[in-house]
Amino acid sequence: MNMSDPIEIKIPEFIRNGLILWAVLAVMLLAGGVTSIYTVQAESQGVVLRFGQYLKTVEPGLRFKMPFGIDEVYVLPVRRQLKQEYGFGSIGATNPNQFSDRGVRNREKSMMTGDLNAAEVEWIVQYRISDPRLYLFNVMDPEGTLRYVSEAVMRTVVGDRTVDEVITIGRQEIEEEARNRLEILVKKYELGLGIDQIQLQNVNPPPPVQASFNEVNQAQQERERMINEAKGEYNKEVPRSRGVADQKIQAAEGYALKRVNEALGDISRFNARFEEYAKAPSVTRTRLYLESLKEVVPQMGRKIILDQDASQVLPLLQLQNLGNGGGK
């Protein structure tokens, strides 16, 4: 035997087959361990299928399932608010069902109002996945179905109103009624969705009549402004006039009360004097005469009182100078 010849080691057949089996088992266990662990995010729920049939719904966290395709898991964002846009599309949207193609958008927003006028209505539907099992298995395309149903509901609601209500004063009422109708239909069709809100975006007349409609709106706004100004003046003047009226009424009532009190005082004084007069008529008349003179004489100015028996005035008395302060 030459030392340079390679040494051949013969492994028994049963050992060689056993090693291959263990290697295969190890690979299968590793693959099974990797494929049996999955994570459900915080805003999601996981729907587990076993052999293609619904098994259970799991909450967020680290979860385990049967490996090798026995169990299959669909993770759905049930706590995230989703939205669909109608008649327009936001730039950078990541949801493929958020808006339609450009040609479909023009059809979506073109509507006829109840008074046979045309309007272009853009709106948003905000919704959530409320039942993952119904969402996955009851309808083939729940979000596509939602888009068709929402468009039908909006056309019905808009068709029940005038163009003025749709474009100006009736927006909130349209949003509420459309949401209620859409929620009823979504539950009826068991789409597994919950409707949070419907918001109208741009609502305008078609471009050919946009200018005329703007003029009408400006006239209506001017009318409302003038009405509001008139109401403001009314609310300002009426309280002021009422205040003046109340003031005059209070003054009149005060004057009337004053006159009544004065009359009552005069009556009391008259009754008191009458009682005194009844007791001593002569004395009372003299007192009243003297009291009257006391009040009247000071108002007469400078006077000369002569005795009724005097025949003439002293010739030395210069009467013409008394008024000027002359004479002695």
Residue 119 and residue 187 in contact, taking contact as beta carbons nearer than 8 Å: no
Task: Give pLDDT, residue 20.
Answer: 64
- The reported pLDDT for the residue numbered 269 is 81
Residue 244 placed within a domain: no
Is 104 a member of any domain? yes
Domain match, 68 and 87 both: no
**Of the residues 76, 101, 126, which one is the last residue of a structural domain?**
76
Residues 122 and 184 reside in one and the same domain: yes
**106 close to 118: Cβ distance less than 8 angstroms:** no
State the pLDDT at residue 84.
93
**Three-state secondary structure readout of 245-292:** HHHHHHHHHHHHHHHHHHHHHHHHHHHHHHHHHHHCHHHHHHHHHHHH
Do 24 and 134 belong to one domain? no
Which segments of the chain have a pLDDT < 70?
Answer: 1-35, 301-328
Q: What is the pLDDT of residue 282?
A: 79
On whether residue 21 sits in a domain, the answer given is yes
Which of 46, 76, 106 marks a domain boundary? 76
What's the pLDDT at 268? 86
When divided into structural domains, the chain yields a total of: 2
What predicted TM-score, i.e. pTM, was given to this entire model? Answer: 0.58
Q: So what's the pLDDT on residue 16?
A: 53
My answer on whether 126 and 91 are in the same domain is: yes
Last residue of a domain, one of 182, 205, 228: 205
Residue 191 pLDDT: 94
Inside any domain, residue 89: yes
pLDDT of residue 133: 92
Domain containing 131: what range?
82-205
102 with 146, same domain? Answer: yes
Owner of token pair 């052999």: 51
Structural domain contains residue 71: yes
- What is the pLDDT at residue 122? 94
Query: 142 and 148 in contact (C-beta within 8 Å)?
Result: no
Same domain? For 180 and 104 the reply is: yes
Tell me 11's DSSP state: P
pLDDT score, position 175 = 95
Residue 309 belongs to a domain: no
Q: How far apart are CA 108 and CA 103, in angstroms?
A: 9
Are residues 121 and 18 both part of a single domain? Answer: no
Would you say residue 256 lies in a domain? no
